[in-house]
Each structure stands twice: as C-alpha cells, then as structure tokens.
C-alpha cells in the first residue's frame, strides 16, 4: 500500500515534469548553429577592428545600412534605440552595430556622426570597399548597387537584424518591422540568460 502510494507520487511528479511548459517561442525567427559573421574583423569609425566575439556578455545586434538611405535605415536605428531603452536596467547589455554597405560614400566621420546621433552606444562599422562583398557574404546577406539618376546610386540591401546572444551565438533573425515591445521582450530574455 505504502509502495503503491509512493509509486503514484513518483508517477504524478513525472507527469508534472513532462508537462512543464517549454519556453515560449521568441518573437523573431530563432536560428541555431549558424556562424554568420563570427570571426570577421571590421573597422569601426575610429579605425579599431571589431569582431562580434569582442562583445561577449552583451546581446549584439548587427544590421546593414548606409547614410544615404532616407527611410529604412533611420527608421531601424530609431526603433533599435527604442527597443534598447525598453530594456531598462538591461539596456547596457545590448550592443547595436550598423555595418555600412556604402563605404565609398560613408566616410568614417560621416558614418560615426550618423550612428551616434541615434544613440551614443551604437557603433558604425565600415568595411574597406574591397572587403564589402566578403563581409556581406559572411552574413548571407545582400547588398547590390543600383544606379538611379545620373551618377547617383542606391543600394538594395538586407534589412534583417542579426541577434547574437551573450555567448556570441547567432540566435535570432529579426525583421525591421518587428514590434518594439515584442523585440524588447526577446532581447530581455537573451540579456538575462547565463
């Protein structure tokens, strides 16, 4: 009898453990075992070489843009500032990196002033023009120069945001339209891991 009830208790606990809900899915797309951009060194606007692995302990967001982009790039930068601020005391654990797809026109000074004007913590990375293709490929991203009027051109580019966890593992790929509170909830979880 006593063994029977013990058995029941054990069975009940096993059932409870098995039924423990799995962690809810992230709002952005979850990825694993992708080493996009890892180990790649890109100069920042002060000329210092930066790697994703330099930001261990922080949740690192990488995306592509350029200063002559009138819409999506400033919109994304503004939104990322709002997302970061929404994390409150964990905000300092989030690092935003903008990689220029237009190093020919984005001089270090111009890119630096631009990025910092959205948030002083943001860092602009400027690949050498000859390195740009390699950098873009390392993220399986796209950046294509498209002539517009006269000598002018625009650049079709990936607008997705790559999110690395505090161990520098690529964990999420977010669309720039992801709602601020949903994005912030994802980053909060990653910031509080480990």
Partner 1 sequence: MKISLALLLLLASITRVFAADPITIERPWARASAPGQTVGGGFMTIVHQGGGEDRLVSATTPIAREVQIHTMNMDGGVMRMRPVEGGLAIPADGRVVLQPGGLHLMFMDINAPLVAGTTFPVTLRFAKAGEIKVEFNVEARTR
Q: Which residues bind partner 1 (CB under 8 A)?
A: 67-72, 74-75, 78, 109-114, 116-118, 142, 146, 148-149, 152, 154, 156-160, 175-177
Q: Say if residues 130 and 29 touch (Cβ distance below 8 Å).
A: no
Q: Which residue's CB is nearer to partner 1, number 89 or number 109?
A: 109
CB of 137 to partner 1, least distance (A): 15
User: Which pair of structure tokens corresponds to residue 64?
Assistant: 């592509």
Q: Which residue's CB is nearer to partner 1, number 156 or number 193?
A: 156
**Strand bridging mode 59-65 / 94-100:** parallel
Q: Say if residues 77 and 62 touch (Cβ distance below 8 Å).
A: no
Give how far Cα 27 sits from Cα of 56, 152, 174, 188, 189, Å.
23, 38, 8, 12, 11
CB of 109 to partner 1, least distance (A): 7
CB of 15 to partner 1, least distance (A): 42
Q: Which residue's CB is nearer to partner 1, number 14 or number 113?
A: 113
Q: Which residue's CB is nearer to partner 1, number 19 or number 146?
A: 146
CB of 11 to partner 1, least distance (A): 48
Give how far Cα 88 sits from Cα of 83, 85, 92, Å.
10, 6, 8
Q: Which residue's CB is nearer to partner 1, number 55 or number 162?
A: 162
| 145 CB neighbour count, 10 Å cutoff | 13
Question: What residues contact 40, with CB distance under 8 A and at least 6 apart?
Answer: 51, 52, 134, 135, 138
CB of 159 to partner 1, least distance (A): 4
Task: Name the 3-class secondary structure at 144.
Answer: strand
């Amino acid at each position: 009898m006593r063994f029977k009830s013990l058995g029941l208790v054990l069975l009940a606990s096993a059932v409870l453990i098995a039924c423990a809900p799995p962690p809810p899915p992230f709002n952005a797309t979850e990825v694993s075992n992708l080493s996009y951009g890892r180990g790649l060194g890109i100069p920042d606007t002060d000329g210092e070489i930066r790697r994703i692995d330099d930001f261990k302990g922080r949740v690192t967001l990488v995306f592509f843009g350029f200063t002559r982009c009138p819409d999506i790039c400033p919109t994304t930068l503004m939104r990322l500032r709002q997302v970061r601020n929404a994390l409150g005391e964990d905000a300092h654990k989030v690092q935003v990196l903008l990689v220029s797809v237009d190093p020919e026109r984005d001089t270090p000074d111009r890119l630096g002033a631009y990025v910092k004007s959205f948030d002083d913590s943001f860092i602009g990375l400027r690949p050498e023009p000859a390195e740009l293709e390699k950098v873009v490929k390392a993220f399986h991203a796209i950046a294509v120069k498209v002539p517009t009027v006269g000598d002018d051109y625009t650049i079709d580019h990936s607008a997705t945001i790559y999110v690395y966890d505090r161990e520098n593992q690529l964990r999420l790929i977010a669309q720039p339209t992801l709602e601020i509170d949903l994005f912030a909830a994802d980053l909060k979880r990653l910031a509080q891991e480990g």
